Structure 1
Amino acid sequence: METVSTTNSDTSSRTTSFPVVRFLQAPVTTIFEYSGFLRPRSESESLIPQHNNNNHHSSSDSGANGNVGNSEGDVSIRIMSDGELEGERGGDGGRESVVLSGDGGGGGEREMADSSDVDGRSGNNSDSSNQQRYDLQQVSRWIEQILPFSLLLIVVFIRQHLQGFFVTIYVTAFMYKSNDILRKQTALKGERRLSVLIGYSIIFMLHVVGVYWWYQNDDLSYPLFMVPPKTIPPFWHAIFIIIVNDTMVRQAAMTLKLVLLMYYKNGRGHNFRRQGQMLTLVEYALLLYRAFLPAPVWYRFFLNKEYGSLFSSLITGLYLTFKLTSVVVKVGSFYSALKALSRKEMHYGSHATPEQVSEAGDMCAICQEKMQAPILLCCNHIFCEDCVSEWFERERTCPLCRALVRPADIRSFGDGSTSLFFQLF
């Protein structure tokens, strides 16, 4: 009972106060101990195997209970007969015992119960748990040894490429913010303002032009026209060129999507469905172009004659082969988006007749208003075309009965979103 209270008090003190000084000395080990993965240890405490501890406790218990007076006494084993064994089992409830007697000053006896197997298994579990803690502690100490030097190398690396890091973080953050703006303007539909769309379009285009004007002396714009850089770029400079071009192309595509939103600003029903199809087509065309965009940079990087003409030609051929397989997938997606745009009827339903609308109640279950351009789904539920088109941009089932309505053809980007994954290879 006293041990439990001590453990609880240690746990509460560990949760309430964080050892700042020890964290500065050994951060990884301190975090492991504070989170409970490692048991806190003192500096002088060493990891002793569990079986040694069990032997120590067993010897101390036998010394206390058996009154062993001299540790140098001889030990003898008394073999019990069948009668004595039966009597011993009857008196102790069937417990088998082995009596150890010592010839020292005060002889003692120790009984071993049948539960020794259970104790052995628990001891093995304790040994494995103790070994896992030991391995975790060694890993944390190894990390603490290399952590300061790794941080120094990272700081020097960032200082050497400071401008590249700043530009990459800036254009990425600007792209994420632009994607949120475009999605919000798409969701406004007929309530969006033309002046706001024009303002965002000008800002996006000025941002693209400003980045390429800043790097006009570099080979940054060559891959846009599928032309390899003039010189073989270093590895990190090649990564920088690819990331900036990939981000700027998406930024320019966002400007084109804003122009589409201006065109479909006052549309209703069918126009909003066509708007979503056009936004999806633009996105898949962008994905196809972005698949080609890193190829000129890596072509120049891999085709390095300093490594040998055979090796460089082999690596370049393998890269172009892998790139061809990914481009084929992008071409298939673009073709599916183009085919969906040319389709006259909706692939999830058809226009409802006035009799069908009156039977359904002439009330849309999504917007709770009178139906505008009602659409009859294959599950016989009727909704506004505007509402159900927006619903199927995110879902594939009926809003009421959850029946599967929309086929799993291609992913829709009708909400104005842009893929945020970088195309590095």
Structure 2
Amino acid sequence: METADTTNSDAYVSNSYPVSLNDSSSTSSSSFPVVRFLQAPVTTLFEYSGFLRPRLSNDESESLNLLNNNNSSSSNNHSLSDSGGVSGNDVVGNSEGDVSIRIIGDGEQEGGGGDDGGESVVLSGGGEREVADSSDVDGRSSGNSDSLNQQRYDLQQVSRWIEQVLPFSLLLIVVFIRQHLQGFFVTIYVTAFMYKSNDILRKQTALKGERRLSVLIGYSMIFMFHVVGVYWWYQNDDLSYPLFMIPPKTIPPFWHAIFIIIVNDTMVRQAAMTLKLVLLMYYRNSRGHNFRRQGQMLTLVEYALLLYRAFLPAPVWYRFFLNKEYGSLFSSLITGLYLTFKLTSVVGKVGSFYAALKALSRKEMHYGSYATPEKVSEAGDMCAICQEKMQAPILLCCNHIFCEDCVSEWFERERTCPLCRALVRPADIRSFGDGSTSLFFRLF
């Protein structure tokens, strides 16, 4: 009895250790390991997010091994004490997979003859099936665990490779930025200025009749001086030659070619914004027909700009690809392929510009007609968009009537009726009547 009590108490103590260890590990994992992140940032992020199993320290791994050994020894003691305590039953398994259970009588010894008072029961079929089923389950679970461990190992190797390459890559990026510091600064500056100018132009277009002439003149002068100042600063760098479809005098390096294209593309859009501000001055108090004509003019300017920007990078890349150092045949082949690809991409821009020009020359509206006084009185003489008395009412093909200004502004962004959502405006080209400018760079 003393031995059994000691064994049970040891087992209880050994089983209680992993609980305290897990509690401590869970408590420590709740806080982000800053020191480990500084040593291995990628692996630490994977471990903290749950993709990888957290690595244990040396002390934790040694204590975990000792606890596993104690658990295995205590489980063996339990099995021996249990087999010794049950003093009447024997379970015997033969090599063929059959299980034999022999029940020993009260007066029979374990080593004596068991034919007198004992009974033997042999389980042949079910035992094999149970053993086979358990082995299949164990095999599948072990295969899944192996594949999962392999995936985690591969992910850990990738994270370690990134940690080795990342510092050197950051050093290269820093050196590259230092070598092209002026180019990076100018590119970021002109891009930010262009984004802000586009926002200003859209707000001035939305003001309609509330625009102030002095504000429009001030913005147009700022935009114009900005364009002139950038080209005056780079007057010795062949920056203005591609504007007239003339290739640079010398073959530009790759990053210098990218810089020339980005600056020219941004400055051309800035000059187009100045032209749009002049149009807003002209249509400052526009209503009805003039408001629609303003949107058509802004759209035409934008599609003309897109067509010109499609040709703008061609002189730079023509000079870049036509490099005789790689061989005349190779350079001529690459240049010819580039010009072929460029012409195929320009065809769509020509079609869009022609559609915008055709829409400007068309006098009638393509989404409705002017409503008669009888139709307006039947509709209630109240615009559903502005909730005021209709001014120059327009009858749509779905028989709904709105103010010309309201419905013209609506169809700058939508193609359906504001009330019934019926398709009214055809899908011909995208409208830029709100004064916006395309913000994507045209690099090739």
Q: Same fold (TM over 0.5)?
A: yes
Which stretch of structure 1 is more off in the superposition, 366-375 or 39-48?
A: 39-48
2:309–2:442 Cα contact (<8 Å) kept? yes
Closer, same or farther: CA 143–83 of 1 in aligned 2, 3 Å: farther
Which stretch of structure 1 is more off in the superposition, 365-374 or 334-343?
A: 365-374
Closer, same or farther: CA 362–231 of 1 in aligned 2, 3 Å: same
1:371–1:384 Cα contact (<8 Å) kept? yes
Which stretch of structure 1 is more off in the superposition, 404-413 or 112-121?
A: 112-121
1:97–1:113 Cα contact (<8 Å) kept? no
Post-superposition shift, 1:136? 1.5
For residues 201 and 363 of structure 1, what CA distance do their matches in structure 2 show? Answer: 38
Closer, same or farther: CA 71–93 of 1 in aligned 2, 3 Å: closer
Post-superposition shift, 1:372? 1.2
Which stretch of structure 1 is more off in the superposition, 130-139 or 41-50?
A: 41-50
For residues 184 and 439 of structure 2, what CA distance do their matches in structure 1 show? Answer: 18
For residues 423 and 118 of structure 2, what CA distance do their matches in structure 1 show? Answer: 68
1:351–1:374 Cα contact (<8 Å) kept? yes
Residues 166-216 of structure 1, C-alpha deviations (whole Å, 9 max, x = no match): 000000000001111111111111111111111100110010001001001
Closer, same or farther: CA 139–360 of 1 in aligned 2, 3 Å: same
Structure 2 residue matching 1:271: 3-state secondary structure: helix
Instruction: Give the percent of matched residue pairs that are identical in Structure 1 and Structure 2.
Output: 90
1:66–1:110 Cα contact (<8 Å) kept? no
1:96–1:112 Cα contact (<8 Å) kept? no
Tell me the TM-score normalised to structure 2 length. Answer: 0.78
For residues 253 and 4 of structure 1, what CA distance do their matches in structure 2 show? Answer: 94
Post-superposition shift, 1:117? 3.8
1:95 aligns with 2:114: no
- The RMSD of aligned alpha carbons is 8.3
Q: Which runs of 5+ in 2 are unaligned?
A: 11-24, 56-60
1:357 aligns with 2:371: no
Q: Which runs of 5+ in 1 are unaligned?
A: none
Closer, same or farther: CA 128–225 of 1 in aligned 2, 3 Å: same
Closer, same or farther: CA 76–7 of 1 in aligned 2, 3 Å: closer
Post-superposition shift, 1:35? 2.3
Match of 2:58 in 1: none
Closer, same or farther: CA 410–96 of 1 in aligned 2, 3 Å: farther
Post-superposition shift, 1:13? 5.0
For residues 79 and 232 of structure 1, what CA distance do their matches in structure 2 show? Answer: 99
Closer, same or farther: CA 305–269 of 1 in aligned 2, 3 Å: same
Tell me the number of residue pairs that the alignment of Structure 1 and Structure 2 aligns.
419
Closer, same or farther: CA 130–213 of 1 in aligned 2, 3 Å: same
Residues 79-110 of structure 1, C-alpha deviations (whole Å, 9 max, x = no match): 999999999xx999999999999xxxx99999
Closer, same or farther: CA 347–60 of 1 in aligned 2, 3 Å: farther
Structure with bigger gyration radius: 2
Post-superposition shift, 1:43? 12
Closer, same or farther: CA 125–335 of 1 in aligned 2, 3 Å: same
Closer, same or farther: CA 115–275 of 1 in aligned 2, 3 Å: farther
1:276–1:413 Cα contact (<8 Å) kept? yes
Tell me the TM-score normalised to structure 1 length. Answer: 0.82
Residues 332-353 of structure 1, C-alpha deviations (whole Å, 9 max, x = no match): 0000000011111111111111
Match of 1:7 in 2: 7
Which stretch of structure 1 is more off in the superposition, 290-299 or 120-129?
A: 120-129
2:298–2:432 Cα contact (<8 Å) kept? yes
Post-superposition shift, 1:307? 0.5
1:357–1:374 Cα contact (<8 Å) kept? yes
Post-superposition shift, 1:369? 1.1
Which stretch of structure 1 is more off in the superposition, 56-65 or 327-336?
A: 56-65
2:261–2:313 Cα contact (<8 Å) kept? yes
2:224–2:271 Cα contact (<8 Å) kept? yes
Structure 2 residue matching 1:76: 3-state secondary structure: strand
Closer, same or farther: CA 108–324 of 1 in aligned 2, 3 Å: closer
Post-superposition shift, 1:128? 2.6
1:50–1:130 Cα contact (<8 Å) kept? no
